[in-house]
């Protein structure tokens, strides 16, 4: 019995180490499984972004070098923007992904599964300075390795997480439907309800799926089961462009 208990305990520990997903339980009882990005993929994404910034700043320095002191002032401004706002602008305006993260299939999102906004992105990137201490991102790397969901200090402070783009594993069936953007603002609960329908729709008969879709008729007067599935596919895709 002791051997069996040890075996079970070892199996549980191995499973917890291998299971690098972050689970969100929705009010509808649907569990979203978000594959969390580890230190390796995040480091490669950071390296790609660092190379892009270095190349861009080198080109700018050559270009503005002909302008004398005025060019030096512009160059300092470019360095400031690259250091503090490169990540923020891409994360908020590019669906949570800098060019480096996009190349690795990663994106930043809030811990509750919603798209990252200005305040959270600014906070996580301001604390990046602390993550770099005492050098070579030592504090950040230690935080990522010790955190259950691979969050650096900036992520913990801002309530964000870095995941792979094809996040909701449980909703892969919904992604087969061509996405259609929702043209009205939705609360988190409303988004989760639509995504829940998208997951379940393929397992329902046509009449039952249509009946469930009609529940949202007050919000979407022209709603059908196919259109609601398309809305779910759009929400799952992470593309918030209307």
Domain assignment present for 50: yes
Pair 45, 80 in one domain: yes
Domain assignment present for 21: no
Q: What pLDDT does 169 receive?
A: 41
Domain assignment present for 131: yes
Q: Is the pTM of the predicted complex or chain greater than 0.85?
A: no
Out of 164, 191, 225, a domain closes at 164
Highest-confidence segment of 17-21, 82-86, 198-202: 82-86
Domain assignment present for 56: yes
Of the candidates 14, 217, 37, the residue with the CA atom closest to the CA atom of residue 109: 37
Q: Is the pLDDT of residue 212 over 70?
A: yes
**54-68, 95-109, 207-221, range with the lowest pLDDT:** 207-221
Q: What pLDDT does 106 receive?
A: 92
Pair 43, 91 in one domain: yes
Per-residue pLDDT tens digits for 46-59: 999 999 999 999 99
| 233, 227, 215, 208 alpha-carbon torsion, rounded to 10° | -90
Pair 106, 175 in one domain: no
**Distance, CA of 23 to CA of 26 (rounded, Å):** 10
> What string of H, E and C letters represents the secondary structure of the chain?
CHHHHHHHHHHHHHHHHHCCEEEEECCCCCEEEEEECCHHHHHHHHHHHHHHHHHHHHHHHHHHHHHHHHHHHHHHHHHHHHHHCHHHHHHHHCCCCCHHHHHCCEEEEECCCCECCHHHHHHHHHCHHHHHCCCCCHHHHHHHHHCCCCCCHHHHHHCEEEEECCCCHHHCCHHHCCCCCCCCCCCHHHHHHHHHHHHHHHHCCHHHHHHHHHHHCCCCCCCCHHHHHHHHHHHHHCCCCC
Pair 62, 147 in one domain: yes
pLDDT-derived band of residue 203, with 50, 70 and 90 as boundaries? low
Per-residue pLDDT tens digits for 84-137: 899 999 999 998 999 999 999 999 999 887 889 999 999 999 999 898 888 788
Q: Give the domain extent around 205.
A: 171-237
Out of 164, 179, 210, a domain closes at 164
Tell me what the mean pLDDT of segment 41-70 comes to.
Answer: 90
Pair 125, 186 in one domain: no
**26-30, 135-139, 199-203, range with the lowest pLDDT:** 26-30
Pair 211, 152 in one domain: no
Query: Within 10 Å of residue 154's Cβ, how many Cβ atoms?
Result: 22
Q: What pLDDT does 239 receive?
A: 59
Pair 106, 184 in one domain: no
Per-residue pLDDT tens digits for 3-14: 333 333 433 333
Domain assignment present for 28: no
Domain assignment present for 105: yes
Tally of domains in the chain: 2
Q: What pLDDT does 238 receive?
A: 61
Pair 127, 223 in one domain: no
Q: What pLDDT does 22 receive?
A: 73
Out of 137, 164, 191, a domain closes at 164
Higher pLDDT pick, 189 / 228? 228
Q: What pLDDT does 28 receive?
A: 47
Pair 97, 119 in one domain: yes
Q: Is the pLDDT of residue 26 over 80?
A: no
Per-residue pLDDT tens digits for 143-197: 988 888 889 999 999 999 999 875 444 444 444 678 888 888 877 777 877 887 7
Domain assignment present for 23: no
Domain assignment present for 32: no
Pair 160, 125 in one domain: yes
- Residue 133, CA distances (Å) to 85, 137, 139, 203 in order: 19, 6, 6, 51
């Amino acid at each position: 019995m002791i051997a069996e208990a040890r075996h079970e305990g070892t199996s549980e520990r191995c499973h917890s180490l291998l299971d690098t997903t972050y689970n969100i339980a929705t009010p509808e009882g649907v569990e979203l499984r978000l594959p969390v990005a580890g230190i390796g993929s995040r480091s490669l994404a950071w390296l790609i972004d660092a190379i892009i910034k270095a190349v861009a700043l080198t080109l700018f320095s050559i270009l503005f070098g002909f302008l004398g002191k005025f060019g030096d002032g512009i160059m300092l401004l470019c360095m400031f923007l690259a250091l503090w706002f490169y990540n923020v602008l891409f994360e908020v305006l590019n669906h949570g992904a800098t060019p480096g993260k996009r190349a690795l299939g990663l994106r930043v999102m809030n811990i509750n599964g919603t798209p990252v906004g200005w305040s959270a992105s600014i906070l996580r990137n301001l604390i990046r300075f602390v993550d770099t201490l005492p050098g070579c991102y030592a504090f950040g790397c230690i935080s990522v390795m010790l955190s259950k969901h691979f969050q650096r200090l900036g992520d913990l402070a801002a309530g964000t997480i870095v995941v792979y783009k094809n996040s909701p594993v449980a909703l892969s069936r919904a992604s087969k439907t061509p996405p259609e953007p929702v043209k009205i603002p939705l609360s988190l609960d409303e988004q989760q309800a639509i995504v829940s329908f998208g997951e379940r729709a393929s397992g329902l008969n046509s009449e039952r799926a249509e009946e469930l879709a009609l529940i949202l008729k007050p919000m979407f007067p022209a709603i059908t089961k196919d259109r609601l599935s398309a809305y779910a596919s759009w929400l799952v895709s992470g593309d918030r462009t209307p």
